[in-house]
Amino acid sequence: MLRNARTRLIFASILLSSVVTVLVLSVVYVTTNVIIEQETRSVVEAEIAGLADDYERLGLPGLAAAIDRRVLSSTKQDAIYLLTDHRGRSISGNLGVWPSSIKPGGGWVELELVRTDSDERVPISAVSISFENNARLLVGRDASGRQKFDRILVQSAGWALIAAFVLSSITSWLLTRLIFSRISEISDTADTIVSGDFARRIPVRGTGDEFDRLAITLNDMLERIEELVKNLQLTTNSLAHDLRSPLTRLRTHLDTLVLDNADQEQRDKAGKRALEEVDHLLRVFANLTEIARAEARLPKSDFDIVDVDALVSDAVELYAPIGDERDINVHAVGAAEPIEGHRALLMQVLSNLLENALRHSPNNSEIVVKLYDHPESLELVISDKGPGMPNAFIQNATRPFQTLDVSRSNPGSGLGLALVAAVARMHDGDVQLKNANPGFDVTVSLARGHTKK
Amino acid sequence: MSRRILVVEDDLETLDFITKGFEAQGYVVETATNGRDGLYLATNGALDALVLDRMLPELDGLSLVQSVRAAGINTPILMLTAMSAVDERVRGLRAGADDYLVKPFSFQELDARIEALMRRPQDQSDNRMLSCADLVMDLERRSVTRAGRALVLTPREFQILEYFLRRVNRVITRTMLLEGIWDYSFDPHTNIIDVHISKLRRELDAPGEFQMIKTVRSAGYIMSDAD
């Protein structure tokens, strides 16, 4: 049973609170007793000194009268007095006879005696003195009241202990129920996810407590995992689908090559086509590898300080002549401080976006690369005057193998934007696509890393 | 004396493909199929160039490069890799390789790069003039003339032309240009380099003059001093 964490917690809590209660009550008991005893003794000692004084001033008869008065006084129910002559015969007080075990002047004693006023045998704590004529005086206190108090104290300590036991049982049970119900919610969710339901999330109660924060963090993690798994499934499906057509074409070309009745010209053509198909396939794989590496968010050891201004102007300079051929003016505006990033992959991003923009721009238009500098990030906007994308397509456009061209005769592999998105995520950023009517805006934001103060 | 080249590659078909290609070019080719044999051959014999695979049994390509360099051998080394990632290139060059080529490659690309490695650019900077046939480049005054006619070039076109002038009669591939001129190793999906070259050609060749920068089919370009 103790293998169960919850039972262990409850037991530990009960044990701990019981031990603490017992300790506290013992301390209270002991200190109370000590204090009461000291108090009693000092009162009795003061009394005996007062009575000795009376004896000095008034002699034995005066002392006896004083004792009688005290015995009769109702405020001192627990006071015990005994004044005897030198032979131990009682002169005054509420005890019958001088107990043989008490030597006068011998300090404090505890014993049981019979009170003459109540005829009860009671526990007594007393001190005694003797006078010069061998008369003796004993003054004490009936301890039965104190013993009763002791009993009550012990009894209430017992109740307190039981109360502590019950309370700690209830609170620890409630507490563990609270904790373990949240934990089992999490583990139930994990079980469901393990068995295949990736959409399940840990319930958030909205209390904003630690468990809620944990649940939110775990849910974010699950979100990302689900996205990756979905992407993987989609990529695998699309890959299988996308590779079928080029492989089929490749097979046709190879068939022509081994065909007996094909002439040299046909063979040359088939060989050239086959090479093109293979190159296309290799490019798809190279792109997939790049995406996978960017997605893996490897340690940023390959990150350098990248001069984004220079990168953009290089890219514009590289692609401007292609634009010129169709009177498309490619130019850059804005400036930004350098960022920490992967230079080659960022250039690939610019290249992919500029190639997309060029492919979709009408003749005699413009493509603008805008740079916006922010303290925490950097924004790169590539705007063209092309037709844009249907809004329904936009949200999936950065997934692998998404292409608007259903026939897929276009040279685009459907991986360009996927790589852009992967590289953006690698730089803790993202990609946003927007129809600008007319035209199309792609915004890539990149986190600055540690480059800005 | 014919030039000697060592190829270390564990894939026999690739090894055969490279060996046949280099032999057809008149090289003497030595081969090894693992890193240890490769290191032995590389450190025991006069070689003009080394072609190493990145992933090799017994001793991987990176360690092989490091060992060869540690032995004080400065023979040009070209690494081959199946890993396309751009940073692999940086890692290979840091280890001491001179160039890097991603598999699969065309033999022309490999040949052009090996050629470029073995014949480093002629250092003509002391005479401050580069020339090829009737083309003259004045590096100090940043001016270019062909047959006495001054050419109007952008700084980038000047840079491309200088790159060719330092490698006359040698094949230069598109990726070599992209890496050498723009210093980027990325994969453009369009023919950007061709567009830049044809722009340069329009300025370079007046009617009646021979085409100075010629296209080499499925390889790249070559600047020749005669038609």
pLDDT per residue as tens digits for the range A238-291: 777 777 878 888 888 888 888 777 788 888 888 888 888 888 788 788 778 778
| Contact at CB, A318 and B192, closer than 8 angstroms | yes
- Nearest CA of chain A to the CA of B54: how many Å? 17
Where do we find the tokens 């890539």?
A444
State the Cα–Cα distance between residues A361 and A385, nearest whole angstrom. 6
- Three-state DSSP state, A270: helix
pLDDT reported for residue A409: 44
Question: Does residue A20 have a pLDDT over 60?
Answer: yes
Percentage of residues in chain A having pLDDT higher than 90: 11
- Is residue A379 within 8 Å of A440, Cβ to Cβ? no
Nearest CA in chain B to A278: B104
Which residues lie below 8 Å from residue A201, measured CB to CB, with a gap of 6+?
A189, A219, A222
pLDDT reported for residue A406: 47
Least CB–CB distance from B192: residue in A285, A319, A411: A319
State the Cα–Cα distance between residues B87 and B225, nearest whole angstrom. 37
Question: Does residue A74 have a pLDDT over 60?
Answer: no
Q: Is A303 left (phi over 0), alpha (psi -120 to 50) or beta?
A: beta
Question: Quick one: which H or E segment has residue A142?
Answer: strand A136-142
Any A CB within 8 A of B85 CB: yes
- Nearest CA of chain B to the CA of A237: how many Å? 23
Least CB–CB distance from B186: residue in A302, A317, A344: A344
pLDDT reported for residue B85: 57
| Contact at CB, B189 and A352, closer than 8 angstroms | yes
Any A CB within 8 A of B211 CB: no
| Contact at CB, B187 and A286, closer than 8 angstroms | yes
Query: Is B61 exposed, middle or buried, given 0-12, 13-18 or 19+ CB atoms closer than 10 A?
Result: buried
Q: Which of B139, B134, B115, B150 is nearest to B222 (CA)?
A: B115
Q: Kindly state the greatest CA–CA separation across chain B.
A: 60
Query: At B107, is the pLDDT very low, low, confident or very high (cuts 50, 70, 90)?
Result: confident
- Is residue A270 within 8 Å of A290, Cβ to Cβ? no
Does the CA dihedral B112-B116-B122-B125 come out positive or negative?
Answer: positive
What pLDDT, in 10s, does the model give residues A367-395?
999 999 888 889 999 999 988 888 877 87
**Span A347-376, average pLDDT:** 90
State the Cα–Cα distance between residues A287 and A102, nearest whole angstrom. 109
Residue B80, strand partner residues: B53, B101
| Contact at CB, A344 and B185, closer than 8 angstroms | yes
Neighboring chain B residues of A412 at a CB cutoff of 8 Å: 189
Neighboring chain A residues of B107 at a CB cutoff of 8 Å: none
| Contact at CB, B199 and A321, closer than 8 angstroms | yes
Does the CA dihedral B190-A324-A350-B172 come out positive or negative?
Answer: positive
Nearest CA in chain B to A287: B84
Any B CB within 8 A of A361 CB: no
pLDDT reported for residue B1: 63
Answer whether the bond into residue B57 is a cis peptide, omega within 30°. no
| Contact at CB, A342 and B83, closer than 8 angstroms | no
Answer whether the bond into residue A321 is a cis peptide, omega within 30°. no
| Contact at CB, A344 and B104, closer than 8 angstroms | no
What does the DSSP assignment read for chain B? ---EEEEE-S-HHHHHHHHHHHHHTT-EEEEESSHHHHHHHHHSS--SEEEEESS-SSS-HHHHHHHHHHTT----EEEEES---HHHHHHHHHHT-SEEEESS--HHHHHHHHHHHHSPPP--TTTTEEEETTEEEETTTTEEEETTEEP---HHHHHHHHHHHTTTTSEEEHHHHIIIII------SS-HHHHHHHHHHHHH--TTSPPSEEEETTTEEEE-S--
What pLDDT, in 10s, does the model give residues A106-141?
788 888 888 877 777 888 888 888 887 788 888 888
Counted residue by residue, chain B has a size of 227
Where do we find the tokens 């049994």?
B57
Nearest CA in chain A to B185: A344
State the Cα–Cα distance between residues B59 and B34, nearest whole angstrom. 7
φ/ψ (deg, to 5) at A434? -150, 130
Q: Which of A402, A405, A395, A384 is nearest to A430 (CA)?
A: A395
Any B CB within 8 A of A345 CB: yes
Question: Quick one: which H or E segment has residue A367?
Answer: strand A366-373
- Kindly state the DSSP code that residue A209 receives in the 8-state scheme: S
Any B CB within 8 A of A317 CB: yes
Nearest CA in chain A to B102: A286
- Is residue A32 within 8 Å of A153, Cβ to Cβ? yes
pLDDT reported for residue A445: 92
Percentage of residues in chain B having pLDDT higher than 70: 93
Confirm whether the ipTM is greater than 0.85.
no
Counted residue by residue, chain A has a size of 453
Any B CB within 8 A of A318 CB: yes
| Contact at CB, B156 and A317, closer than 8 angstroms | yes
pLDDT reported for residue A299: 61
Rounded to 10°, the helix B61-70/B86-95 angle is 20
Nearest CA in chain B to A343: B184
Any A CB within 8 A of B174 CB: no
Cα distances (Å, whole numbers) of residue A259 to A268, A269, B128: 12, 13, 58
| Contact at CB, A358 and B190, closer than 8 angstroms | yes
- Kindly state the DSSP code that residue A398 receives in the 8-state scheme: T
What pLDDT, in 10s, does the model give residues B54-99?
888 888 888 889 988 888 888 899 998 876 556 666 777 778 888 8
Which residues lie below 8 Å from residue A324, measured CB to CB, with a gap of 6+?
none
Of A277-286, A402-411, B193-202, least confident by mean pLDDT is A402-411
- Three-state DSSP state, A244: helix
Neighboring chain B residues of A321 at a CB cutoff of 8 Å: 192, 195-196, 199
pLDDT reported for residue A407: 43
State the Cα–Cα distance between residues A24 and A182, nearest whole angstrom. 35
- Is residue B54 within 8 Å of B78, Cβ to Cβ? no
Nearest CA in chain A to B196: A321
Pairing of strands A430-435, A304-306: unpaired
Any A CB within 8 A of B187 CB: yes
State the Cα–Cα distance between residues A320 and A367, nearest whole angstrom. 9
Nearest CA in chain A to B82: A286
| Contact at CB, A342 and B187, closer than 8 angstroms | no
- Nearest CA of chain B to the CA of A442: how many Å? 19
| Contact at CB, A321 and B186, closer than 8 angstroms | no
Which residues lie below 8 Å from residue A87, measured CB to CB, with a gap of 6+?
none
Residue pairs between chains A and B whose CB atoms are closer than 8 Å: 59
- Three-state DSSP state, A233: helix
pLDDT reported for residue B87: 61
Nearest CA in chain B to A358: B190
